[in-house]
Chain A
Amino acid sequence: MKKTLHIIALAALLALGGCFNLDEEWYSEVTPDTFFQSKEDVYSVFYRPFTHAFWYEGLDRWYLQEYVADQFVQPQRGNDWYDGGRWFRLHYHTWTDDDEPIWQTWRGTGMGISLTTECQRDLAALDYESLGLTEEDKVFHQNQLNTLIAYFYLRALDYFGAFPIMEDPLKEIEYRSTDKKVFAKVEEMLLEALQNTPMATAEDSKIIGMSRGTAAALLARLYFNAEAYIGEGRWEECSRICQDFLDGKYGYYQLGGSWKDPHSLTNKDSKAVIWAHPSQMNYIQYNWWFRYTHHKNMVAWFGIDNVSAYNGHGLTPSLKPDGTPYTEYRLGSTYAKFNDQDLRKCQYRYNGGTDYEGMFLVGDQVTSDGMKIKGNKEYNNKTLSFVDYVARMSEKPYNTPASAMSSTMADGEENSCIRPVKVPVASDNQYRWSSYMVVIRLEEIYYMLAECKMRSGDKEEAARLINRVRSRAFEGGKDPDPVTAVNLDKWRMLDEWGIEFLAEGRRRTDLIRWGVFTTEAWWDHVPSDPSRNRFPVPTLAISGNNNLAKDPQ
């Protein structure tokens, strides 16, 4: 009996020793402690915030710049795109604190700041030399990440004004900060990065990552909008940076000869691109806009696959349902703002290789082999034809004149609105989605400088700078309606911004800088309230941190 007990006791002891191990064991994921084995691993971590930045450029952030402004509309199309009135509210400037695009923008911005900061901390703790890199690499990396953080804060300032500033990643944010503090934070980080970031040299990679040119361009953007951000004009500083840019002080940048250059299928070789995200079929593909712009049956027109299409937004109409143009508004009428001789103002076509023409889908959609693309809603089995008005013509009683048809956000059909093809779509696999996603390009420096010159009274120089860019869109550079010191005013300046930078996610910022965002009407939009120049703190953000409910301090 005693022996038995001894055996049991011994066995139990052994068992207890071995079987109280509660360690987690991981297989598909790794802890940062064991991750870094080579310099490739450093790059793997360094570029993670950049894939976030790539995602950040599209969708909700873009909606908040374009759907609320005068160039784009997302109308209800029958049963589709009502979405509980979400797009109506953006268009009419009646958005609420709960609206999804605002929350997605807030959280995407906050995540950009946190994710980049975490990455910066992890890399700062590494011994670069033991991983086959140098201390200079480390400084460069840290400063690039600083520029990226500054970029997210700059966007936060633009959307929300007083965005909370993270001083210590381990502490909760205690207050919302102020516009001025965010401005100062961005300025400080960019100035520091400007000192410590080398100029881009290697042609292939100069537009990926944050070069000195990127930091400078962002700083110019900050000063350019300073009046709107903090009520204090910093035109001089903006002007100086832009001039330095054109003088080659931040790297060798040069305008391309064609209007296609910055967005072409080979734009990674463009000398005008300052910062871009890479894109290539089957890797990261810059094509989020495709599904929100195009009709699903147009996939066959483009000759591509593996892409869904939801037939969403288009250009703000230039015409009333009866075909007469809108003359009562200075904004909107997007398609009409393009000169009829503008090479961009025609049906987009892909001609094989890297060749294409036009920038819009207009009228009947028939492929080059004569295949008619059919509708599947109001124009079921009828040839799809994109029109420059919004009205439910499919339901028009025969004795009602078209002029009596209503044209509002609720009156879209599947064929309503002209569709832009800002970035070329190639059916050739080699070039499909090969246009890099451009965030900053040299044309913006030209236009910023032009606007600064115009504001300081030098309209001649302003017109020269704009025409330098604009003339590329005309056959032989022969512009029938160039900008002149006489015709250049606020409205012409805004039109020029809109034409060159159509669909590049900046329209709202331009309208606010000119003070017309909430005071003007266009198409179905009436003036709103000055408070609409900024987006509110989303309810979900407040529920995550109640301090954000309080006034900025």
Chain B
Amino acid sequence: MLLVTVGAFLCTVALNAQITVRADKQEVRSVIRQIERTSPYRFFFSSELPGLDSKVTLHLDNASIEEALDKLLKDIPVDYTIREGSQVVLSARKEQQLEPQSPGDNSLRGRVTDESGEPLVGVAITLKGGKASVWQVTDTDGTYSFPEISPDDVLVFQYIGFSRQEVKVGKRHILNVTMHESSEMLDDVVVIGYGTLEKRELTSSVTSLKTKDFIGGNTASPIQAIVGKVTGLDIHSSAGNDPNSSISLQLRGVNSLLADQGPLVVIDGVPGGNINILQKEDIVSVDVLKDASAGAIYGTRASGGVILVTTRMGQEGKVGVTYSSEFTTETILRRADVLTSNDWRELGKEDMGGDTDWFREITRTPFTQRQMLTMSGGSKAFSAYASVYWKTAQGMAIGSDRQEVGGRFNFTYKTLGNHLELSGRVNYVNLRSNYTDSGIFRDALTLNPTIPVYNPNDESGYNILTGNDEYNPVANVNLKEDSSQNDRLQASMSARLNIVKGLSSTLTVSAVQDFDSNGYWESALHRVSRENNRDGYARQSWKRYTGTNVEWVNNYELLKDKHSLKAAAGYSFQQTGAKLEFSGSNADFSNDGSKYYNMGDGKYLAEGRSSISSYKSPRERLISVFARVNYSFDDRYLVSVSARHEGSSKFGDHNKWGTFPAISAAWRISQESFLRSVPWINDIRIRAGVGITGNQGFDPGVTTRMYKSDTDPYYVDGRWITVYGLSKNVNYDLQWETKTEYNIGVDWDLFDHRLSGKIDVYKRYVDKLIYDINVAQPPAVYPKTTMNVGSMQNNGIEFELTGVPVRTSDFSYRTTLRGSHNITVLGKLWKDDIFYDTVSFPSPGSPGTAVRLEPGQRVGQFYIWKYAGIDEDGNWLLYDKDDNIIPAAEKKQEDKRYIGNALPDLVLSWDNTVTWKNFDFNMFFRSWIGHDVFNMTEMYYGLPNAINKNVLRSAYTRNAHIVQEKELCDYFIEDGTFLKLDAISAGYTLELGRMVRSIRFSLSGRNLLCLTGYRGIDPEVNTTGLTPGFEGLYLYPDTRVYTLGLQVNF
């Protein structure tokens, strides 16, 4: 790789970081800003430090940082320390240490730490209303001491990025303080991709979350810790809290038909990472770039928004060790209400002699534990963060479990006077999963409850059901094994060169390596083996995937008077695809115990009935150059302009390259003279932006004419040959799908940060939508061709309001209300009268499709018949297209109509945090208002006409009068409005001595309560994608999740 060589070249060039200052009678404060903007150094200090207003005159050329600081601070009582080579911490100069007259009498000492127990260096401590000269700043180990202090004194602790705290001394001689991070601070650093901005410099809609914002409790993926925390971000799990469930994400509504619909995940600057292998302890912040004016710098992958995850890096200082431990269990919140064996007998149905609650048989009280050890620390030259964890998790369903072992190592090496910085991040996880059978919940629902689970006379001990559609789910799971082992490695190395003041160049090379193996085995006693007269079946499959990323980013910063400029430019290379797969199967083994480990043994191989297959997907590449400039004048007028020129291997020769520009601006109206003097306004900002992003997230091969082997062979001249033909319709003219997004927003922060919030309104136009569209055959070989077909539009509004009604040294209460609303409308589709029917309902009954995608229609509607009642014979009545009531047998396709709305009118979340002394308490509610859910379970299992199958109790209550087979109509659509008590968590932090610094206990419950009129299991159904709103048939139960956590800081 050539770029690696470039990096190596760059690394060998030695340069010196130099400070140049031109200041004539300027405030110290503004000189500091000047240094910040023209050098890699960052300053951390309390705005209440004495002397920052004093005017100095300073002229320096290519001075060292130490020299500059010595000269700048020589007349004011301020000391400095340099952390991690580039962080300058300013603290009030310590007074001459006075020998205490009677030690122990009136002295006070203590330690200041952050929530994770890390010591905080340079925290400013003042006496409230007291002598300004009494100043203290914490040391490198976070300690401080006052030789003499009065019990009535109130100490004020202040630290950048953290909430101010006031504590009354009382009779204490030791006072340890935990500082809480604050998100109101305008100086907070926000990651925006290829650079960072301070919060006040933002010009677009970005939500920034820190560790403290995460919801407590164990989750399958760390992203579930931010459910409901980002307006407009939809997070859906495929199977409740099952450790093997998969997560889908969607931001601000669906934005594509065929191509990628979810947001791009960028981990530590590397696009396309797998967020599921991170542990939440590893994460410092999650920044979500919502509108295209921010995301466009990521070009074609950012159409669904961008989620930037930053992991922890080591801090200079003593090594801090944290041990975390979590124990989780679940109970059932809601399950399907089916007939019991007694009900079954009373109805006079066939009695098989048993009393079985199938649901109980296939579920258990799962136990999940996770242990994690992290270490962080380092010196000026080298700092590192390391973590290891071990997790064993069980699902609610029998047979579903998972074991994880993994670790992360992040390090930074600095040399040559901080001019060269080498850093790396390595994340490795080994996952071992066992999967249950997806059909067991359906079987548990429909199986006759008088069938016994076990049969002592059967060799297997189970009552093996044959001849039926259903399996004995207990036997089915226990007589087979479906397991996988996955190795995930994500590694990146970067070299950063601080070339001259304000200019740096960073080269990052990263790789993702996934290695998956799957083994599937059915015992000789399993029903399928018996039915096929064979002694067992086994299959193994192996997959390997390697992805490569190279990012070369150059950053430049310039400050002159009131002008501030930040620029970034670079090159990006991404190679994906080329996924290799191999699988083989065999059956009829001589030994059942070998499972899938001795695959050659099966007789099917000799009989020519085993199978083998392999595949390698095509290589995909994305290459781009990009640039961005952020300019601000006087911190009042801010503007950001960016562009990315990107090429993809998936398009034809003439259409490979696209350009994706963005512009956004903000006006901090609060900085204008007429508002500056208003004491209760901290910040008011008006933002507007527009950006264009592309989308190429579809399978490759659309623009190349290809042959593919057919699954059927043919017989030629005495032997069977594999035949080849065109693999798909080719479209040489395919172009980028593009999205143009407009966003307008207002941010406010009032009353000393006690009332803050923001509102955003957006409009997204997706054009040249890529979709597989019906084409005429002939001339096309296949019925669909991938084409640029039309347009789509998303409109929405999002708001967030945070209040801090109480804020004292001991007690604080903070509450946040978030809300969002989005509608998606399909615009044009290829030709005017085209539509696409989808969501085919399965047999029995195969009632047809329930969704139609058609130009001009909102996404989220159902396209079905309208229910008109049940006649006295128990037959369905429906409305025809002219609203006449007709028997269901006479219905026609044209009588179908658009009904309902699966997307909520309003999505709300309400977050409440209370802290009292060392206790903290959080209560989190979520609500969706005004959405419809198609209750498929009720439709398939809630009618009395089932033969030999168990049904929902509603079949003999609410639906008892229905005789006829089900009809696809809105009888089964219900209002899904709900209010959930999504999480309660409580914690207590015990401050201890020198060896063990603190212990934190926490208890959290997720998904505790759901208030809804919906009759199914969970009204929070999938609302991502084009066909939202169906509660499917393989019902995973809704569960409450309880987690006990323990964290020890050393």
Contact = CB atoms under 8 A, between A and B. Distances in A.
A40 interface: yes
Nearest to A14: B2
Nearest to B718: A204
Counting chain B CB atoms within 10 Å of each CB, which of A32, A79, A110, A540 scores highest?
Answer: A79
B779 interface: yes
Counting chain B CB atoms within 10 Å of each CB, which of A17, A114, A377 scores highest?
Answer: A114
B712 interface: yes
A22 B9 contact: no
A48 interface: yes
Interface stretch (A82-90, A134-142, A510-518): A82-90
B618 A11 contact: no
B674 interface: no
Given A45-B707, A45-B725, A48-B725, A545 B573 contact: no
Interface stretch (A188-196, A275-283, A521-529): A275-283
Interface in B574-598: 578
A543 B2 CA distance: 50
B707 A543 contact: no
Contacts, number: 262
A11 B9 contact: yes
A486 interface: no
B172 interface: no
Contacts of A278: 714-715
Interface in B929-970: 945-949, 965, 968
Given A43-B721, A80-B843, A543-B834, A24 B778 contact: no
Contacts of B607: 429
Contacts of A4: 13, 15, 499
A545 B725 contact: no
Interface string A428-457: 010000000000000000000000000000
Given A11-B6, A107-B783, A283-B713, A115 B649 contact: no
A29 B708 contact: yes
Contacts of A180: none
B778 A173 contact: yes
B892 interface: yes
B67 interface: no
Interface string B11-23: 0010100000000
Given A22-B649, A35-B707, A545-B776, A282 B2 contact: no
B720 A107 contact: no
Interface stretch (A49-57, A217-225, A237-245, A352-360): A49-57
Contacts of B725: 45, 48-49, 52, 115, 118-119
A381 B889 CA distance: 32
A287 to B, nearest CB: 13
B723 A45 contact: yes
B705 A14 contact: no
Contacts of A376: 467-469, 948
A376 B465 CA distance: 11
B151 interface: no
Contact of A24 (B700, B726, B781): B700
A15 B3 contact: yes
Given A25-B618, A40-B721, A84 B778 contact: no
Interface string B781-794: 11100000000000
A40 B505 CA distance: 56
Interface in A154-169: 164, 166, 168-169
A380 to B, nearest CB: 5
Given A48-B723, A55-B712, A544-B774, A19 B550 contact: yes
A96 B893 contact: yes
Given A15-B2, A51-B714, A25 B619 contact: yes
Contact of B776 (A79, A429, A544): A544
Contacts of A47: 714, 716, 721, 723
A98 to B, nearest CB: 5
A378 B782 CA distance: 42
Contact of B6 (A15, A82, A118, A378): A15
Counting chain B CB atoms within 10 Å of each CB, which of A168, A300, A544 scores highest?
Answer: A544
B835 A543 contact: yes
Nearest to B579: A27
A377 to B, nearest CB: 5
Counting chain A CB atoms within 10 Å of each CB, which of B499, B707, B717, B726 scores highest?
Answer: B707
A297 B704 contact: no
B715 A26 contact: no
A51 B710 contact: yes
B74 to A, nearest CB: 32
A410 B888 CA distance: 13
A44 B723 CA distance: 4
Nearest to B528: A305
A488 interface: no
Given A11-B10, A305-B533, A380-B350, A545 B775 contact: yes
A28 B582 CA distance: 12
Contacts of B768: none
Contact of B608 (A21, A83, A282): A282
Interface in B814-851: 831, 833-835, 837, 843-848
A543 B774 contact: yes
A27 B649 contact: no
Contacts of A429: 607
A115 B726 contact: yes
B753 to A, nearest CB: 45
Contacts of A282: 608-609
A8 B705 CA distance: 41
Interface string A75-109: 01011111111101000000011100000001100
A111 B6 contact: no
Contacts of A172: 776, 779
A359 to B, nearest CB: 26
Contacts of A83: 843, 845-847
Given A19-B623, A50-B714, A84-B846, A24 B532 contact: no
Contacts of A118: 725-726, 781
B779 A82 contact: no
A28 B833 contact: no
Given A28-B617, A98-B893, A45 B778 contact: no
B980 interface: no
B299 to A, nearest CB: 14
Given A15-B6, A24-B649, A85-B889, A54 B704 contact: no
B413 interface: no
A546 B773 CA distance: 13
Contacts of B647: 20, 22
Contact of B649 (A23, A76, A283): A23
Interface in A107-136: 107, 110-111, 113-115, 117-119
24 contacts: A8-B9, A11-B6, A11-B10, A24-B701, A26-B618, A29-B618, A47-B721, A49-B725, A51-B714, A80-B845, A82-B845, A84-B845, A84-B848, A107-B777, A278-B715, A280-B715, A283-B715, A305-B533, A374-B467, A376-B467, A376-B468, A378-B947, A542-B833, A543-B831
In the A-B complex, the 9 residue pairs with the smallest Cβ-Cβ separation, listed nearest first, are A110-B777, A545-B776, A48-B725, A27-B616, A278-B715, A166-B778, A305-B532, A83-B846, A544-B774
Given A114-B777, A172-B776, 8 more contacts: A23-B621, A40-B721, A54-B714, A79-B845, A110-B778, A111-B781, A296-B467, A305-B531
Interface of B: 2-3, 5-6, 9-10, 13, 15, 350, 467-469, 499, 505, 531-534, 550, 552, 571, 573, 578, 607-609, 614-621, 623, 647-650, 656, 700-701, 704-708, 710, 712-718, 720-727, 773-783, 831, 833-835, 837, 843-848, 889, 891-893, 945-949, 965, 968
Interface of A: 4, 7-8, 11-12, 14-32, 35, 40-41, 43-45, 47-52, 54-55, 76, 78-86, 88, 96-98, 106-107, 110-111, 113-115, 117-119, 164, 166, 168-173, 204-205, 208, 278, 280, 282-284, 296-297, 299-300, 305-306, 374, 376-378, 380-381, 410, 429, 540-546, 548
